[in-house]
A and B are shown apart, each in its own frame.
Chain A
C-alpha cells in the first residue's frame, strides 16, 4: 500500500522528466558532444589533409630550389604526397612573385615558399598562403624545408648524403599506459576522456539536483503540495520524487554509458587511422560512471530537495544554495590534483570523503584503477552518508513544503529537523 503510492509518485516524476524536451536534447546531445570532442578534431584534420597543398617555391638564393623541391615532393602522409609542386612563373624575381601572389589570390595555388638570398645562413624561409592556420601542413612544410637545409649543410661538411637521413632521424616518443592487463599505447586520449566524463558527472549532478529543487519549489508555489500531503505522507512524497527523478537520471546515464561503450568499440578503429588513438574504455569505467552518478545523485539530490522545500523562490534558493553547491564544486576543483597523481595519499583520502567520492573516486577509476577495497569502502561510506542525509533532508522537507513567507535561517531549519 505504502510502496504503491511511492511508486505512483515516482512514476509521475519519471514520465514528466523523460518526456520533456530538455531530457531528450541533453540525453542525445551528451554522446554527440562527447564524440565531437574526441573524434571531431581527428576527423576534421583527416579530411583537411586529404587534399594535398599546391605550392610553388620561389628561390632568391639561386642554389636551394632543387633541394627544397625534392624534400617537399618526397614528403608523404599516409602514402600520399602532401605537396604538389608547380613551377614558379618565368621572369625576374619581382615579376615572378607578383605572378605567384596573383595565382594564390585567384585560388590556382594554395601558397608559395620564398627562399631569401641568405636563407641557408640565417635559417629563415617565408611562406605566403591563403590559409596559414592549417597547423599540421605548415609543420610538415617546416620539417621538409629544414630537412633540405640540414642535408645541404651536412653534405657541405663532407657527409655522404645517404648517411645523413639515418643520422638525423627524429625521435618519436611513444607513451604507453601500463595496466595489469598489459601495456597500451595512449597519447593523451585517456586524459581527455577522464576530463570529459568527470565534467559530465559534475554537470549532470548539478543539473538533476537543480531539477529536483525546482520540482519541489514548483509544487510548493502551485500549492499542489497541500493536495498531495493530504493524500500521501510527506516522507513518501519525498521518496517518490527522489526515486522518480533518479530513474530519469539513470535512464540518461544508461544511454550515455551504452553509447560510450559502442563508441569505444566501433569508434576506435575510425580514429586509429588518423593517428589519434582512442583510449581503451574499460567496462569497469562504464559501470563506475553509472554507480557513482547514482550515489552522487542520492546524496546531492536529497540536499537539493531540502533546499527547495526551505525557500519560496529561485532567488532565495540561490542565496541558500552555497552549502549544497560548494562540496560538489570543491570535488571538481580537487579533480585536477587527483588527476596529476591519482595514487597519492592525498588523492586516496579526498576520494574517500563522501561529498567528493562521486567525482574523485570515479576519476581515479578512470586513470589508475584503485585497489578493490578502496572502491568498496567509498561505496559503503557513501551509502551511510546517503542514509543520514536523506533522513535529515526528509525532515526538513516535511516541515518546509508547507512553510510560506520569510526565508528561514539555518538555526530555524535545524529546529525543523528536531520538530519533525
Chain B
C-alpha cells in the first residue's frame, strides 16, 4: 500500500525533485540570475557549478524562498514551492550561522522544531548525529566555545536533523579540514544511498567530480551546460591525455593537433584537436622527456569548466563591445 503510494508520487513528480523554469533575479540593475531553467533529478547528487558571482547562491536562496524571483516558477517535489515543501529540504547557506551564545543541543533541537519536528523526536535523533560527527562531548556547551570546524559540523547537523528528503548545501566543503571533509563526504554518500537528493554548489571542481552524478554549470547568471557528468564529459570527447615527466615540457603546446595544455604541477593535461592521434604525441614526448605517466583520459570537469566559462565570458564581452 505504502509503496504503491510512493510509486504514484514518483510518477507525479516526474523524477525531478526541484524544477526551475525561466527564473530571473536582478539586484538594483545588476542581473544576478537570467532566465535560468534547471531540473534536479530525484536521488541524484547534483552539482551547481560556476565561478564566484555566477549566481549560485542567489539561485539556492530563491529555491529556499530567502529571496523571491522576479520572474519564473520554482517547483519542489512536483508542486509550486511552499513552506510545507521547503520543510522537506535541509539548507546549509553559504554564510554559516547559528546562535553563538546558545547551547549546541538546544540550538539544534530548536532549528529542527521550526522545521516542524516534535521536540522529543528531535532530541532522540540528535544523539546519534552528534556521536557520528564527534560532537557528543560538546552537546551542552555554548556554540561560541566550539572551534570553527566544530561549528561547521554543528551547522551540518542543523541541516540534517529534520530528516529532509533534499539537502541543499552552498559550498559544503569550504572551511573544513581534510578529516572533516572526509567525514562529510561519507555522510553525504550514505544519504545518497538512502535515496535522498543532494544539491551542492561549488567552485571547487575536484570535490564535485568525486561526488556528483549530475551538474549544471552557470556563469554570469546563465546556464552554460548541464546533464549527467558522464554525458557532459563525453560531449567534450575522449580526447585528452595526461602526461607526467621530468624535464621541460614547454614544447608540448607547439606540437601539431594540440588544442590546449593545462599544467597541474605534478602532471599536465593536454587537450587535442578532434581527430588528432594520441600516439603521435606519445612518440614525440617519449623522445624528448623522461615520461613517468601517459594516459588517455576524459577531460576533467575543471578543464571543461575553465574552457566553457572563458569562452562564455569572451562571447559576452564581444556582445557588449559591439
**Chain B positions within 8 Å of A1 at CB level:** 116
A-B interface, 9 closest residue pairs, ranked by CB to CB distance from nearest: A223-B97, A223-B95, A230-B64, A224-B97, A226-B93, A222-B97, A231-B114, A8-B113, A230-B91
Q: On chain B, which size bracket covers the interface? A: 20 to 34
Quick one: which of B83, B110, B158 contacts A8, CB cutoff 8 A?
B110
Whether B66 sits at the interface, judged by CB under 8 Å, is yes
Task: Tell whether, in the assembled complex, residue B98 and residue A229 are in contact, meaning their CB atoms are under 8 Å apart.
Answer: no
Interface size on A, residues (CB 8 A): 22
A227 touches B116 (CB 8 A): no
Q: Which residues of B contact A8 (CB under 8 A)?
A: 110, 113-114
A223 / chain B contacts, CB cutoff of 8 Å: 93, 95-97
Beta-carbon nearest neighbor of A5 in chain B: B114
Is the pair B83, A227 in contact by a Cβ cutoff of 8 Å? no
**How many Å lie between the Cα of A293 and that of B134 in the bound state?**
46
| Alpha-carbon distance A223/B98, docked complex (angstroms) | 7
Interface digits, A223-238 against B, CB 8 Å rule (1 contact, 0 not)?
Answer: 1111111111100000
Whether A230 pairs with B99 at a CB distance below 8 angstroms is no
Binary contact track B49-88/A, C-beta < 8 Å → 1, others 0: 0000000000001001111000000000000000100110
B96 CB contacts on chain A under 8 angstroms:
223
Q: For the complex, is B255 an interface residue (Cβ under 8 Å from A)?
A: no
How many pairs of A and B residues are in contact by the CB < 8 Å rule? 62
Q: Which residue from A9, A218, A219, A226 sits with its C-beta under 8 Å from B114?
A: A9
B98 & A228 in contact (Cβ 8 Å cutoff): no
Bound Cα distance from A15 to B158, whole angstroms: 20
Closest to B113 in A: A8
CB proximity to A under 8 Å, residues B4-43:
none
Contacts of B65 in A (CB 8 A): 229-230
Beyond the given A229-B64, A230-B86, please list 18 additional residue pairs across the A-B interface where CB-CB is below 8 A: A5-B116, A16-B101, A219-B97, A223-B93, A223-B97, A226-B61, A226-B66, A226-B93, A226-B95, A227-B91, A227-B97, A227-B111, A228-B114, A230-B65, A230-B66, A230-B93, A231-B111, A232-B114
Asked whether B224 is an interface residue with its Cβ less than 8 Å from the other chain, the reply is: no
Chain B interface residues toward A at CB < 8 A: 61, 64-67, 83, 86-87, 89, 91, 93, 95-102, 106, 110-111, 113-116, 158
Counting chain B CB atoms within 10 Å of each CB, the highest count among A8, A218, A229, A231 belongs to A231
Contacts of B98 in A (CB 8 A): 222, 224, 227
Q: Is A153 an interface residue (CB 8 A)?
A: no
Q: In the complex, what residues of A have CB within 8 A of residue B102's CB?
A: 12, 16
Given that A227-B93, A227-B158 are known contacts, is A222 also in contact with B114, CB under 8 Å in the complex?
Answer: no
Q: What residues on B are CB-neighbors of A233 within 8 Å?
A: 83
The B-contacting residues of A in range 1-22, CB under 8 angstroms, are 1, 4-5, 8-9, 12, 16
A402 within 8 Å of B by Cβ?
yes
Residues of B within 8 A of A4 (CB): 116
